[in-house]
Structure 1
């Protein structure tokens, strides 16, 4: 199981998620439908067996504030996972943003979905501008040291993954366009299929048994399980009914044999013969 870095001591003087904007005025939200659908699929199929849903944050388009020295600086990953974090149970406590110095736990994995205008930044191919915040790559690799970073380009069907090694990201080999995360006992790969009425090649989670099911698939699996139980119960009822019918037929045959025996005994007596003396 992945062990996150020890929680950082909260600093009362630092702003919390209630002080920091969850979205800047004039800044666009998700760039296209693909980002929303892909994020939904990642969230629905992310089901690590060694973590409870209450200790995993799966976030999409949620501002990530990462540096207490510059509390207004943030990145907005397309999708990310934080493990070992306490999730709110009440609606009014849901996060407005993810603030590192408030939460004390860095993300475990970040996924960026490439767009034509973000590719160089997502892949660390841009240089930081003077007096400007660091690039995504710098934040993920050097500041937060996120253990896993995934980039997917749907235009080229190009899936790349990186793992932190020392102070640098190293590419992960992706045989069959997938890779396994030992810490989660779960893997991430490219899956061809239909999701939300859309056919395509999608990032999706899998385990040792195969692709992890979506909500719709889990519902269908439950429906099939209930139907199989109903069929088994019906088969048991039919078997019990057949057993009852066989028992009734045996009873009727026995009754018929008894009646024949009684008639024979009555006939013998009418002829002056004691049936009890006949062997």
Structure 2
């Protein structure tokens, strides 16, 4: 019962939580080196007015990027819509997230009935004839026609969360050409942005699944601010751990050196005690021999000492 349709019979798609989360991730991982943050605008589920002659006609992309446009309208206000003839800049990238029944609207001539998502049905939109980029009928053209022929948006990406299929289109010679993507690792590189879009498997906002996400020139996923702060905190924690380990190792080395010094001192003291004991014993032997009325020469010969040493021992004993 979680996917009941809208009460509006004209509502072709079924809005869902994914349509809120996925655009957030696209905006959160968009890091453009050649544009200041205040010169980048991303719109999410925002009315996009595209025809000055039919000012009420609009499309509502799930996500789009406009370059060289102030973040705030007129430098001071949040936008409630995006009016291309006032902004003077068309979107550069549009991302649509397929919902049941929106394939024909979102994919135009590239819609594949065999892989259509079950649900609401929307008939194929007959393209209006265009004269100088304007419709000759008072019927709003479909998304595909608006993006390709009227706004001429350079990159158009469509993602279905139902089958995790990414389809990417590049404007070439005034018409969209579908990019050939690796089905196991679909990625499209946008050289003008120095970024690419691909499918990332991970957790965002507590939800684990495949997400459409930006990657950089090294093929690495661009981090969100929260991920960057988390990674930074982890690096700081690792550095602190390494510093603590180095300090502990230095302390251990100092303790080992102190232990070695103490052991050397103990060995020296033991050697000194042994030397003192040997000297005492030798003096006693010399004294005993002299008391036995042996001459200095005889004592020196028997003990291996010089006569001078014997006399010194004799003098010390006196």
| TM-score w.r.t. length of structure 2 | 0.66
The SS at the match of 2:189 is strand
Alignment of 1:241 onto 2:251: yes
1:221 aligns with 231
Residues of 1 paired with 2:259 and 2:230: CA distance?
43
2:207 aligns with 198
Alignment of 1:232 onto 2:242: yes
1:74 aligns with 58
In the TM superposition, what is the alpha-carbon distance from 1:120 to its structure 2 partner? 1.3
In the TM superposition, what is the alpha-carbon distance from 1:162 to its structure 2 partner? 0.6
Contact 1:30 1:61 (C-alpha < 8 Å) held by counterparts: no
Classify 1:209/1:253 alpha carbon distance in 2 versus 1 (closer, same or farther; 3 Å): farther
Q: Which has the greater radius of gyration?
A: 2
Q: Which has the higher relative contact order, 1 or 2, with Cα contacts under 8 A spaced 6 or more apart? A: 1
Matches for 1:101-112 after TM superposition, within 5 Å:
101-112=85-96
Query: For 1:119-142, what per-residue CA distance to the aligned partner results, in whole angstroms no more than 9, with x for missing partners?
Result: 211122512574122221222111
In the TM superposition, what is the alpha-carbon distance from 1:63 to its structure 2 partner? 1.9
Q: CA RMSD in A?
A: 3.4
In the TM superposition, what is the alpha-carbon distance from 1:191 to its structure 2 partner? 2.8
Alignment of 1:35 onto 2:19: yes
In the TM superposition, what is the alpha-carbon distance from 1:221 to its structure 2 partner? 1.8
Residues of 2 paired with 1:146 and 1:258: CA distance?
88
Residues of 2 paired with 1:79 and 1:39: CA distance?
6
Alignment of 1:134 onto 2:134: no
2:69 aligns with 85
Residues of 2 paired with 1:78 and 1:71: CA distance?
20
Task: Give 5+ residue unaligned stretches, structure 2.
Answer: 1-9, 109-123, 129-136, 284-308, 314-318
Query: For 1:202-221, what per-residue CA distance to the aligned partner results, in whole angstroms no more than 9, with x for missing partners?
Result: 21222224333344533432
Contact 1:160 1:171 (C-alpha < 8 Å) held by counterparts: yes
Query: For 1:31-90, what per-residue CA distance to the aligned partner results, in whole angstroms no more than 9, with x for missing partners?
Result: 111111211222222224444433322221122222333333222110011123222499
Contact 1:190 1:203 (C-alpha < 8 Å) held by counterparts: yes
The SS at the match of 1:211 is coil
Residues of 2 paired with 1:73 and 1:52: CA distance?
31
* Count of aligned positions: 248
Query: Structure 1 stretch 148-157 or stretch 127-136: which is displaced more?
Result: 127-136
Residues of 2 paired with 1:263 and 1:52: CA distance?
81
In the TM superposition, what is the alpha-carbon distance from 1:259 to its structure 2 partner? 6.0
Query: For 1:216-246, what per-residue CA distance to the aligned partner results, in whole angstroms no more than 9, with x for missing partners?
Result: 5334322321220111110121122123324
Residues of 2 paired with 1:55 and 1:66: CA distance?
21
